[in-house]
């Protein structure tokens, strides 16, 4: 997927979450709702998430230099790890703390209409952001299931925003349910419980995203479909693929290292180099994400 598409999704999510966060905070202060306060912290954390993702995207676009000859693509993974490890976890832990505190010192809600109105408003804004992220996700994953795509993609910005928006929409619905149940029954237990559930949800998302980003930082292989496609291109040109490594080196950026054996052992060096260049061009045409393509010819049997 083009980097521009994922950047647009991040900006939309940032604008939506910033507006929702302010509205939720006002409603939380007016109503005294723990679920609303947890949701406001969640949305402020989400806004910080998008800020870090945009910073990571900017830094990952820096050109190669003497100290980083392959560029800065993986810088995006570092900032995404901060999103998962700091903001999501802090948001989740705060929500759990707030929920447990409310369970111990339950207080009735005030001006519940404020909370309901803000949550419904938040659902509309979050739904718009989620729709944009979901459409980009569908373009990127094709017929692949969501979880399988999530565990194999290198597009960390889109990955984080999709799961963040899913968690945010789920959190809004949970908070709305908790506030309504508290209003109907007059029992603040439901509001406190809603805060605890939202916190648990954020922690689950944080652990999942943190695990995936860790794999990308270490050097995650591209999907089997991509590896088989690149191998097939070499084989169609009569080469035997001895080794093939395709790893994510940044959002929408692949590094390929291939060791091949020519089908004609007596081929001269000039013809060999010309054929290898032709195959490399075909690989890049089929997979525009390939930023680096290292090829080692081998004649030994």
Provide the edge-to-edge strand list for the sheet that holds 253-261: 240-250, 253-261, 290-297
- The residue from 218, 237, 259 where one domain ends is 218
**Same domain (yes/no): 205, 289:** no
For residue 155, report the phi and psi dihedrals to the nearest 5 degrees: -80, 80
**Same domain (yes/no): 206, 290:** no
Of 269, 270, 293, 271, nearest to 281 by C-alpha is 293
- The range of the structural domain enclosing residue 287 comes to 224-297
Radius of gyration of the chain (CA): 24
Query: In 151-222, which ranges are continuous DSSP H helix?
Result: 156-185, 189-218
pLDDT number for residue 228: 95
Query: Cα(281)–Cα(18) distance, rounded to whole angstroms?
Result: 44
**Same domain (yes/no): 111, 250:** no
CATH number at residue 256: 3.30.70.1350
3-state SS, 33-90, equals CHHHHHHHHHHHHHHHHHHHHHHHHHHHCCCCCCCCCCCCCCHHHHHHHHHHHHHHHH
pLDDT number for residue 2: 46
pLDDT number for residue 282: 95
The structural domain count of the chain equals: 2
Query: Cα(285)–Cα(283) distance, rounded to whole angstroms?
Result: 5
**Same domain (yes/no): 156, 285:** no
Query: Cα(207)–Cα(185) distance, rounded to whole angstroms?
Result: 34
Task: Walk along the chain (301 residues) and give the pLDDT tens digit of each residue.
Answer: 445 556 778 887 778 778 878 887 887 787 777 667 777 776 787 787 788 888 888 888 888 888 888 888 888 899 888 888 776 777 778 778 777 877 777 677 677 777 788 888 888 888 888 888 899 899 888 888 999 999 989 988 889 889 988 988 898 898 889 888 888 888 888 888 888 888 888 889 889 999 999 999 998 999 899 999 999 999 999 999 999 999 999 888 899 999 999 988 888 889 999 999 999 999 999 999 999 999 999 876 5
**Same domain (yes/no): 162, 241:** no
pLDDT number for residue 279: 94
- The residue from 151, 185, 218 where one domain ends is 218
pLDDT number for residue 132: 87
Query: Cα(233)–Cα(258) distance, rounded to whole angstroms?
Result: 12
pLDDT number for residue 5: 57
**Same domain (yes/no): 190, 249:** no
Query: Cα(66)–Cα(55) distance, rounded to whole angstroms?
Result: 22
- The residue from 173, 192, 218 where one domain ends is 218
CATH number at residue 188: 1.20.1510.10
pLDDT number for residue 35: 67
pLDDT number for residue 1: 41
**Same domain (yes/no): 144, 280:** no
């Amino acid at each position: 997927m083009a980097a521009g598409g994922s950047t647009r999704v991040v900006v939309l999510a940032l604008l939506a979450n910033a507006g929702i966060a302010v509205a939720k905070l006002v409603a939380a202060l007016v109503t005294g709702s723990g679920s609303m306060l947890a949701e406001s912290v969640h949305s402020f954390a989400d806004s910080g998430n998008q800020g870090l993702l945009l910073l990571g995207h900017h830094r990952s676009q820096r050109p190669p230099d003497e100290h980083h000859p392959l560029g800065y693509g993986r810088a995006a993974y570092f900032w995404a790890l901060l999103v998962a490890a700091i903001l999501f976890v802090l948001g989740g832990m705060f929500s759990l703390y707030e929920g447990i505190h409310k369970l111990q010192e339950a207080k009735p809600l005030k001006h519940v209409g404020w909370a309901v109105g803000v949550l419904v408003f938040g659902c509309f804004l979050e739904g718009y952001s989620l729709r944009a992220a979901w459409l980009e996700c569908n373009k990127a994953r094709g017929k692949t299931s969501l979880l399988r795509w999530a565990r194999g993609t290198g597009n960390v910005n889109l990955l984080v925003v999709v799961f963040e928006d899913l968690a945010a929409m789920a959190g809004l619905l949970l908070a709305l349910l908790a506030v309504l149940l508290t209003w109907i029954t007059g029992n603040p237990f439901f509001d406190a419980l809603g805060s605890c559930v939202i916190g648990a949800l954020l922690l689950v998302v944080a652990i999942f995203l943190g695990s995936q980003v860790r794999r990308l930082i270490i050097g995650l292989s591209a999907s089997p479909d991509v590896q088989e496609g690149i191998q097939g291109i070499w084989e169609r040109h009569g080469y035997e693929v001895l080794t093939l490594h395709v790893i994510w080196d940044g959002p929408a950026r692949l590094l390929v290292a291939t060791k091949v054996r020519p089908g004609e052992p007596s081929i001269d060096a000039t013809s060999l180099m010309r054929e290898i260049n032709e195959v490399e061009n075909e690989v890049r045409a089929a997979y525009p994400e390939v930023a680096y393509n290292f090829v080692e010819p081998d004649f030994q049997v």
